[in-house]
Amino acid sequence: MTLSLWIIDAFTDTPFRGNPAGVCLLPEPRPEAWMQALAAELKQSETAFLLPRDGGFGLRWFTPAVEVDLCGHATLASAHFLWEDGRLTPAEDARFHTRSGLLTAHRQGDGSIELDFPATHARPADPPDGLLDALGLSTGTVFRSRFDYLVVVDDAAQERGLAPDLARLSGVEARGVVVTAPGDNPGTDFVSRFFAPSVGVPEDPVTGSAHCTLGPYWVERLGRNPLVGYQASARGGTVRVELAGDRVRLGGRAVTVLRGAMEHR
């Protein structure tokens, strides 16, 4: 017996850009240790595991090191997989039962995908010891969300040029650290980068769940909605964000780069 196992680049329409995710469709539940071992084998920032249930799919996300509570790009990749593999018709929304509640994905007429995620508002916070130093920053406005620290700087060039001390960042008690600045190119409202060495992801190429915090912050600051964010990693990727009450709609595209079958052992 084999399992469908794909690699899909999310928040991009160009292969080898955006954020790659593994997507594995399970015919039956598998042990958590097995899923963690497969995620470590694939070495993607996240691998998504889908299991049909309750008129939708159970969805869990694993980095190479740990299971996480919320992941945007691997959810977008999972929805893309379900439509591309014919598990859903283009007119059907994808419904995911997750550790962060029910998440949905809608396929737009132009082929892009819109995710409905919970907003994770950030509050002003004192920076933990060593945070700014580890990022190579002398100043920065710091906030704390449910999952991450958010550090706001004034200059996108400064944000793009960061070379953080990842060993020191791994000691910060949070899933990750988001650094953001106003956009520096036409059509981009803000830029960001995301570092999560404590969960086995030194720098994530494009982090959908971080935009659940970035969206509310920049909508309030700029007074516009929706917005377009660009995550300025080496691969890069674009996320459309729209604040809708206590939810955030995340828009993007995905492209399949590998379709495989794994022996079911």
Burial of 187 (0-12, 13-18, 19+ CB in 10 A): exposed
Sorted by sequence, the CB contacts under 8 Å of residue 139 that are 6+ apart come out as 132, 153
Pick the catalytic residue: 28, 32, 41, 46? 46
220 classed as catalytic: no
Could you say which DSSP state residue 136 is in?
T
Distance CA 35, CA 225 (A): 38
Could you say which DSSP state residue 198 is in?
G
Distance CA 117, CA 225 (A): 16
Which H helix or E strand runs over 257? strand 254-263
Residues carrying an active site annotation: 46
